[in-house]
């Protein structure tokens, strides 16, 4: 995670917070000032700002010197008066998956701000959102996710909510009820920029019937004994047949949230280092996890990436069709398979935490969708009112109530009763343990981490799994790390 360094206060924080005030908020009675003593470390930062048409990138180098001084932080109350006008909301989903619940959230918002019309629209792809932001034509409220959304925050395109949260005691209490990882995911330099919409986590998904037929205890039954060694052993025992009839014991992926992340993170390995501008894919811990993953394919216990590509299928299709016994993936996939792909319950599936690493630790990767306000919105007061309502229990409950169409748990922990009461996951204890252990998806403030870090790493490791790359993993990742660091340096300069 990059929480440790990016969450430290700096001299820039006070001025950034003051600059975020809207006209209506400034007109409100000022809250008591908080004076803090801050010691700032000597660092050099590249601050990138996206400017309106014509699209340009302006890079300013800021040098912070180690000094001790008083920084005044002013808490700013969010608008309380009924605002008027219209705001647009680019939200995830459609009439079948999401929109009914989002409309209920809008109704709750309009009870407090009846003069504001919220124009609900299907969300765009993140590339299109980035283009719209650069052109100044983005919606007022935007669905963002990890990792793309963090880059939007780092480039100053999302409203800083922290000054307004600081000025509203009720909002502060609401934020405290959210899963810590989901809040951390959208915190930049100590300030919160978006209200999370989903709490999703990775773990072990498996075909329980297949386990029983092989005479194996399930991963849920093994508890803490579900380890790397057991994972490899089970994959071998579940693998059978050849050719078109072959059943693979497992599916493994080099992606952070579908395999490798659950293996690398417990060792302390990271796709992006804590400073947010360097990669860690060449670290010995990362290589150790990658080699373990690759071994599944070399032993024939998991399909090569090219095997799936040639058959034009994905791992979930193979899982549903009894061609894969277990895999590391997310609870979102569990919900999707359970509610959409297995309506006839032709086999029993269950959930367990990710296997424990040789050091005894286990981790899960969180993937959190959130709502952010567009910094250049013409109606920021209405946007802030919307974001304030979105953090409430009533609004967040609509997310969980929509679980069977939108399989994600509300990140506000007191808004998930529906999810747990329906016993949608058989091994509730295991899923709760994964939620508690999850860590945010790799992220960097300089750009979308997928094309810069994750995708190149996936490509390199997939090549090894397919036998197209014969060099040692360590050598391949060392070479790749140099390229990734160069690309991140360019992204930090806006190139």
Instruction: Decide if 27 contacts 163 (C-beta within 8 A).
Output: no
Q: Which tokens go with 338? A: 């359970």
Question: 349-352 and 324-330 as β-strands: parallel, antiparallel, unpaired?
Answer: unpaired
pLDDT in tens, the chain (495 residues): 333 322 222 222 332 332 332 322 322 333 333 333 333 333 333 332 222 222 222 222 322 333 333 334 456 655 554 467 899 999 988 887 789 899 999 999 999 989 999 999 998 888 899 899 989 999 999 999 877 788 899 889 999 999 999 999 999 999 999 999 899 999 999 999 999 998 888 999 999 999 999 999 999 999 999 999 999 999 999 999 998 889 999 999 999 988 999 999 999 999 999 888 999 999 999 999 999 999 999 999 999 999 888 877 888 889 988 999 999 998 877 777 776 777 666 788 889 999 999 999 999 998 889 999 999 999 999 999 999 999 999 999 998 888 777 777 889 989 976 566 766 677 888 888 998 888 888 988 888 899 999 999 999 999 999 999 999 999 999 999 999 999 999 988 875
User: Are 85-199+367-436 and 202-366+446-492 the same fold in CATH?
Assistant: yes
- Sequence ranges of the domains in the chain: 3-74, 85-199+367-436, 202-366+446-492
Confidence at residue 412, expressed as pLDDT on a 0 to 100 scale: 93
Confidence at residue 74, expressed as pLDDT on a 0 to 100 scale: 52
Kind and range of the H or E run holding 291: helix 284-298
Instruction: Decide if 402 contacts 101 (C-beta within 8 A).
Output: yes
Confidence at residue 26, expressed as pLDDT on a 0 to 100 scale: 28
DSSP secondary structure of 125-161: PHHHHHHHHHHT---SEEEE-TTHHHHHHHTT-B---
Report how far residue 62's alpha carbon sits from residue 45's, in angstroms, rounded to the nearest whole number.
6
Confidence at residue 345, expressed as pLDDT on a 0 to 100 scale: 60
Confidence at residue 220, expressed as pLDDT on a 0 to 100 scale: 94
Which of 395, 396, 446, 392 shows the shortest CA–CA distance to 416?
A: 396
Kind and range of the H or E run holding 328: strand 324-330
CATH 3.40.190.10, applies to 85-199+367-436? yes
Instruction: Decide if 398 contacts 100 (C-beta within 8 A).
Output: no
CATH superfamily to which 202-366+446-492 belongs:
Periplasmic binding protein-like II (3.40.190.10)
Beta bridge partners of 143: 371
Which of 5, 52, 27 shows the shortest CA–CA distance to 275?
A: 5
Residue 236 makes CB contacts below 8 A (sequence gap 6+) with 249, 299, 301
In terms of Cβ atoms closer than 10 Å to its own Cβ (0-12, 13-18, 19+), residue 343 is: exposed
How far from each other are the two terminal CA atoms of the chain, in whole angstroms? Answer: 25
Which of 175, 180, 209, 213 shows the shortest CA–CA distance to 195?
A: 175
């Amino acid at each position: 995670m990059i929480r440790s360094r990016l969450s430290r206060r700096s001299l820039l924080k006070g001025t950034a917070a003051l600059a975020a005030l809207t006209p209506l908020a400034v007109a409100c009675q000022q809250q008591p000032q908080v004076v803090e003593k801050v010691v700032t470390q000597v660092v050099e930062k590249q601050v990138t700002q996206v400017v309106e048409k014509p699209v340009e990138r302006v890079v300013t180098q800021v040098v912070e010197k180690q000094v001790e001084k008083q920084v005044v932080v002013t808490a700013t109350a969010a608008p309380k008066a009924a605002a008027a006008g219209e705001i647009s909301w680019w939200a995830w989903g459609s009439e079948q998956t999401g929109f009914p619940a989002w409309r209920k959230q809008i109704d709750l918002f309009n009870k407090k701000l009846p003069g504001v019309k919220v124009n609900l629209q299907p969300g765009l792809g993140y590339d299109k959102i980035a283009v719209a932001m650069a052109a100044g034509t983005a919606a007022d409220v935007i669905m963002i996710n990890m990792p793309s959304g963090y880059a939007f925050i780092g480039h100053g395109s999302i409203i800083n909510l922290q000054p307004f949260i600081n000025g509203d005691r009720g909002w502060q209490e609401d934020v405290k009820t959210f899963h810590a990882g989901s809040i951390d995911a959208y915190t930049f330099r100590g300030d919160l920029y978006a209200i999370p919409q989903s709490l999703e986590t990775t773990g072990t998904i498996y075909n329980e019937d297949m386990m029983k037929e092989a005479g194996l205890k399930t991963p849920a039954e093994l508890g803490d004994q579900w380890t790397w060694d057991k994972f490899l052993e089970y994959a071998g025992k579940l693998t059978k047949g050849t050719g078109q009839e072959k059943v693979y014991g497992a599916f493994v992926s080099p992606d952070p949230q579908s395999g490798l992340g659950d293996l690398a993170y417990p060792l302390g390995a990271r796709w992006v280092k804590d400073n947010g501008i360097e990669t860690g894919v060449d670290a010995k811990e990362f290589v150790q996890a990658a080699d373990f993953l690759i071994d599944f394919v070399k032993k024939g216990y998991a399909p090569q990436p090219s095997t799936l590509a040639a058959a034009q299928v994905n791992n979930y299709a193979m899982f549903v069709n009894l061609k894969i016994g277990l895999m590391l993936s997310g609870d979102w996939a569990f919900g999707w398979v359970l509610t959409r792909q297995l309506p006839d319950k032709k086999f029993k599936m269950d959930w367990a935490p990710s296997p424990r690493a040789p050091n005894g630790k286990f981790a899960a990767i969180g993937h959190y969708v959130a709502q952010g306000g567009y910094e250049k919105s013409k109606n920021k007061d209405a946007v802030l009112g919307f974001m304030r309502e979105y953090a409430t229990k009533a609004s967040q409950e609509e997310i969980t109530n929509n679980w069977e169409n939108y399989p994600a748990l509300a990140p506000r922990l007191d808004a998930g009763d529906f999810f747990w009461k329906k016993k949608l996951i058989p091994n509730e204890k295991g899923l709760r343990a994964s939620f508690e252990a999850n860590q945010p998806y790799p992220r960097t403030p300089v750009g979308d981490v997928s094309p810069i870090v994750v995708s190149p790493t996936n490509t390199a490791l997939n090549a090894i799994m397919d036998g197209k790359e014969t060099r040692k993993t360590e050598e391949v990742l060392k070479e790749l790390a140099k390229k990734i660091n160069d690309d991140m340096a360019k992204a930090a300069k806006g190139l």
